[in-house]
Amino acid sequence: MTHSKTFIALAISLGGWLAAPAFAQTAAAPVATTAAPVAPAGLYQALGEKPGITRLVDDFVNRVVKDPRIGGHFKDTKPAALKESLTDQFCQLSGGPCKYEGADMKSAHADMDINKGHFNALVEVLQSAMDAQGIPFAQQNRLLALLAPMHRDVITKH
């Protein structure tokens, strides 16, 4: 992993990574969040629009549930529901027409004991999935930057 990629991995947060399990397990009403970051022009298209995002999320979830460092966080998660929720979240964040209706990050992660190591492992898995899907590094960074503000609500154990 290059230094710039490592920096991005450590600096960003992947908000949807564990929020979706909470959403997948309960039908909690959506909670209003602060204003979402504005997607860079063309990111949705660069990710392959909804079909490309769906392929990315499918690959990502398949990898993350098997990862020995963080897979345990997903043991009670329904993979199909997680994939659907993350697809909507990534699609909306990247400027697509989807609407994420899952739980807010803070309440979804409150009791999950997520530390920086878990978080960093998840980012590595997402980067591997993006590499496998042929998403260029610049586009990976654009997506990760949109997810970055969520890390304060995801990491719950310091």
**Residue 36 pLDDT grade (very low, low, confident, very high; cuts 50, 70, 90):** low
Q: Is the pLDDT of residue 121 over 60?
A: yes
What Å distances lie between residue 108 and 123, 136, 141, 156, CA to CA?
18, 30, 25, 11
What's the helix, strand, coil split of the chain in %, to 5? 60, 0, 40
Residue 126 has pLDDT above 60, yes or no: yes
The pair of structure tokens assigned to 43 is 């990111």
Q: Could you tell me if 55 and 129 are in contact, meaning their C-beta atoms sit under 8 angstroms apart?
A: no
Residue 142: alpha-carbon gap to chain centroid: 13
pLDDT attached to residue 67: 96
